[in-house]
Amino acid sequence: MATEASTSAAGAGGGSWVEGMSADNIKGLVLALSSSIFIGASFIVKKKGLKKAGASGVRAGVGGYSYLYEPLWWAGMITMIVGEVANFAAYAFAPAILVTPLGALSIIVSAVLADIMLKEKLHIFGILGCVLCVVGSTTIVLHAPQERAIESVAEVWILATEPAFLSYAAIVLAATFVLIYYFIPQYGQTHIMVYIGVCSLVGSLSVMSVKALGIALKLTFSGMNQLIYPQTWLFTIVVVACIVTQMNYLNKALDTFNTAVVSPIYYTMFTSLTILASVIMFKDWDRQNPTQIVTEMCGFVTILSGTFLLHKTKDMVDGLPPTLPVRIPKHTDEDDYGAEGIPLRSAAEGIPLRSPRAAESFRSTSL
């Protein structure tokens, strides 16, 4: 009986490819890999556009929007849109637990291009961190659950309005508003987690809406029109609102901090929250045994380890430890650290050298 159910599930997913992975999952896998390549490249192209726009106008990191007139930024935006479209299609075929972790590839693409095009060097341990991210993602992919069989967008709406997911959505929205209206004005320029926190929280909701919209379009193209349901259009509105918010604060993060650091931290937070949202809404783990779940968690811990290594070695250049003292001449204090509270940066990479508290402590000690 269990064998018959397994065979039926494989058939519903589009046919068996290898044991434990359906043809639909393979389609989602290929689309997700393509998406990561485009998105990883878009980080670099957009960063170059932001730097070029910031040289002749108000920087995005301090509230400027001059990058909207920069063709290079739009080229990066188009590249990202292509990647997001591929990602959008991937969610229609495969579960979020399979698709989202493949964003690790975008870290590798972004880090390599940042090294070549932006001269934002990664230490050898940063490279090791990238490898750990890929290993962890591969582990998750190999043990991902099959896609849930859904017959209409109304079924997705029922899942989205269950108490557990409504509670999650309420917590996410409350945390987002607190970050935007309290933490960003005070800490946005000095703490990378503030901007990325907004992007990741909102992103977890956008992925659930993207998946719902993708399922609706997939069913529509197969002959079951889902555009007649108001839920389809409601999910569309949520997708647009979430993506606009994500892009706004991601631009600020990219303009303020090193790309090689923004990419992995954003990936880790976004993936964590998206997997959590998918588990709550689509109940992905209900279709897996404990061994698969534990293996997926081990893969995710591996990803976290790689990201932590990237973060801890972000200031290591040419073999120098990140804590190496850097003497700051007193007569340049006011020029290098202005009233806006913008951290000191290296001329080549734009990497924050020390926080306001650390700079103040150093001045007091030197006196």
DSSP string, 92-109: HHS-HHHHGGGGHHHHHH
**Count of CB atoms within 10 A of residue 156's CB?**
26
**What are 194's two structure tokens?**
């503030």
Interval 5-10 mean pLDDT: 42
Whole-angstrom distance, CA of residue 137 vs CA of residue 93: 18
pLDDT computed for residue 304 by the predictor: 76
User: How does residue 161 score in pLDDT terms, banded at 50, 70 and 90?
Assistant: very high
Question: Percent of the chain beyond pLDDT 70?
Answer: 75
pLDDT computed for residue 251 by the predictor: 86
Whole-angstrom distance, CA of residue 353 vs CA of residue 367: 20
Full-prediction pTM beyond 0.85? Answer: no
pLDDT at 106 over 90: no
Which range, 106-110, 311-315, 328-332, is most confident?
Answer: 106-110
pLDDT at 104 over 60: yes
pLDDT at 207 over 80: yes
Whole-angstrom distance, CA of residue 232 vs CA of residue 218: 12
pLDDT computed for residue 61 by the predictor: 60
Interval 37-64 mean pLDDT: 75
**Pick the residue with more confidence: 243 or 304?**
243
pLDDT at 164 over 80: yes
38 Cβ contact partners less than 8 Å away, ≥ 6 residues apart: 79, 80, 82, 83, 86
Interval 149-177 mean pLDDT: 92
Q: How far apart are the first and last CA of the chain?
A: 79
Pairing of the two strands 21-22 and 16-18: antiparallel
pLDDT computed for residue 62 by the predictor: 58
- Which residues are 200's β-sheet partners? none
| Identity of residue 234 | L
Q: Lowest mean pLDDT: which of 60-69, 122-131, 234-243, 336-345?
A: 336-345
pLDDT computed for residue 178 by the predictor: 95
**Pick the residue with more confidence: 351 or 31?**
31
Q: How many residues does the chain have?
A: 367
Give me the sign of the Cα torsion angle 213, 214, 217, 218: negative
Which range, 99-108, 126-135, 307-316, is most confident?
Answer: 126-135
Whole-angstrom distance, CA of residue 86 vs CA of residue 223: 22
Query: How confident is the prediction for the chain on average, in pLDDT?
Result: 76
Choose among 281, 5, 23: nearest CA to 155: 281
- Which residues are 18's β-sheet partners? 21
Q: Lowest mean pLDDT: which of 9-23, 73-87, 295-309?
A: 9-23
User: How does residue 57 score in pLDDT terms, banded at 50, 70 and 90?
Assistant: low
Share in percent of the chain as helix, strand, coil (round to 5):
75, 0, 25
pLDDT at 86 over 70: yes
User: How does residue 60 score in pLDDT terms, banded at 50, 70 and 90?
Assistant: low
Q: What angle do CA 157, 161, 163 make, to 5 degrees?
A: 155
pLDDT computed for residue 313 by the predictor: 66
pLDDT computed for residue 316 by the predictor: 61
pLDDT computed for residue 74 by the predictor: 86
Choose among 239, 164, 168: nearest CA to 206: 239
Beta-carbon-side half-sphere exposure of residue 257 (alpha carbons within 13 Å): 26
pLDDT at 247 over 70: yes
Location of structure tokens 């409350």 = 174
Choose among 204, 197, 212: nearest CA to 161: 212
Interval 318-339 mean pLDDT: 41
Say which DSSP state 351 is in: -
